[in-house]
Amino acid sequence: MGGRKMSSCLEEVIPKCLLLTIWAFLLLARNGAEAFHRLATTEELQKVPPATITNRTGFHFQAPKNWINDPNGPMYYNGIYHLFYQFNPKEPVWGNIVWAHSYSTDLINWKPLEPAIYPTKPFDINGCWSGSATILPGNKPVIMYTGIDQQNRQVQNVAYPKNLSDPYLREWVKPDYNPVIRPEGDINATAFRDPTTAWYGHDRTGVLYRSRDFIKWVPAKQPLHSVKDAGMWECPDFFPVLMKPLVGLDNSANDNGLKHVFKVSLDANRYDYYTLGIYDFIHDKYVPDGSSPDNNTGLRFDYGNFYASKTFFDEGKGRRILWGWSNESDSIEDDWGKGWAGIQTIPRAIWLDGNGRQVVQWPIEEVNKLRGKRVGIYNRSVESGGVIEIKGIESVQADVVVKFDVSSGLDKAEKFDVAWRDPQKLCFEKGADAKGGIGAFGLYVLATDDREERTSVFFRIFQLGQKHVILMCHDPTKSSKSSDLYKPTYGSFVDYDLRRSGGKLSLRTLIDHSVVESFGAYGRTCITSRIYPDYAVGSNARLFAFNNGAEDVKIVQLRAWEMRKPLMNGA
């Protein structure tokens, strides 16, 4: 992770220490790794054809080939961005995991380096799993990661740059005093992983540890936060947020009344959940503010294919950046055929919404540098049942920003049933073809000319008393002709006041061959889908605006850009 340089806690008059969060919960049905940690068999390897670029993304982060998963230890250090990530250097499935390493000066163009951490010592000989980075006093980065030791226990280890004068931090050293934290007492040694970025606090971690030197760690008397019957938590994150667009804070910021985000990746369903709350610096307790459930029905960074996310503080631009892993949703056999699996979503700036109830996310500004040829539509109505093709660009790799106006028909919105508690289920039941009062309306992306193959990104508006409920959906059920693909419909309610906005509702969608990332209401709701068209590929991909509601919808402004391909790890 990383952040501003921190003064040595040994020099403080009031005792302070670094805090580390490591989650060790016993209430799990299985080891959380089983969902994707799979080794290739010899028979499978012999069947693997040469790697292909079928549906390979153009501007999303990925390795030249093989499997990737969790983003690890992202940080900004001496003017350079570093991203480490879980990587299988041999095969396009999970296994043989190392910490791959890439660097960038703009978070868009990436160059690969040799793996930073790989199994070599007794404390990580069976695996080098996820972790984080922290900038220590003296401007010295340190990585803490989970190693699988000779006894197959999950232990926590540290690694340091071999040469701080190397601007790219190519080599990392693992001290022999590792592991610095072992699973002891009633901690399950097979479910004790993914340390998060350390921060300074008042002598005070779900298990919290404290340290003065990053070598000797002592468990706290109580957890930072706990939830009964929560299942297996992975990849925790804990950081402060400001109610200022695009502005972030270092992990150690401790102003009174500052809101914090407490996020976990829930192994049971492979989604990331978070709450907002207050961090008690004196007693080392995090207390959710109650604005959303503290369970698997609560807030999510992304309501689609997005997991194991990680943030870091970008000191260079004073913002907090969120990374997330998006796994493939095709078959293992398809991944063997492609020769690659897994991407990272577009890095997003993240901050606290003005209503204080949720975070807002937006693609980092550097993404705009990839924009090329542009087309637009302005002040045009999409009639009930109407479709408008957006022509003039190759939309297989595009950035589309549109503002809709539904003000004229708000009183015709369908009545909302309070029994509709699951937005993802509602998106499935009321898909893009289901006609309502206002909606479905939005975009058909990666579509064929006849729209028989398409992915639908859309809104639907409901009336609830004097207020309106906004449903945002991804419907990929017609995204390809193939029947053996996983094509889940994703959705969420959008916390946004249409009356205050004058009936205006925005949508931004990044389209990149096999990934569609959408940001509704200026980033208040985000959805990512992985799709694999059979025919809507390359120059055959089409882009449409559509309206299947009874009321007309106006496009105030639609702008769409072709996106150039950046440098991407040599691929």
CA distance 487 to 7: 50
Task: Report the distance separating Cα 325 and Cα 345, nearest Å.
Answer: 6
> What are the residues facing 239 on neighbouring strands?
261
Distance separating alpha carbons of residues 374 and 212, to the nearest angstrom: 54
Report the largest interatomic distance among the alpha carbons of the chain, rounded to a whole angstrom. 71
Among candidate residues 181, 159, 183, 182, the one with its CA nearest the CA of residue 172: 159
Nearest to 80 by CA among 114, 116, 110: 110
List of E strands, 225-289: 233-241, 259-266, 271-280, 285-288
Measured distance CA(487)–CA(96) in Å, rounded: 29
CA–chain centroid gap for 552, Å, is 34
Beta strands in 183-290, from DSSP E residues, in sequence order: 199-201, 208-211, 218-219, 233-241, 259-266, 271-280, 285-288
Q: Quick check: is 552 catalytic?
A: no
Name the active-site residue from 70, 267, 284, 475: 70
CB 566 within 8 A of CB 102: no
CA distance 25 to 234: 10
What phi and psi values does residue 429 have, to the nearest 5 degrees? -70, -35
Q: Residue 121 and residue 110: Cα distance in Å, rounded?
A: 29
Tell me the residue type at 537.
V
Alpha helices in 73-194 (DSSP H): none
Catalytic residues, by residue number, are: 70
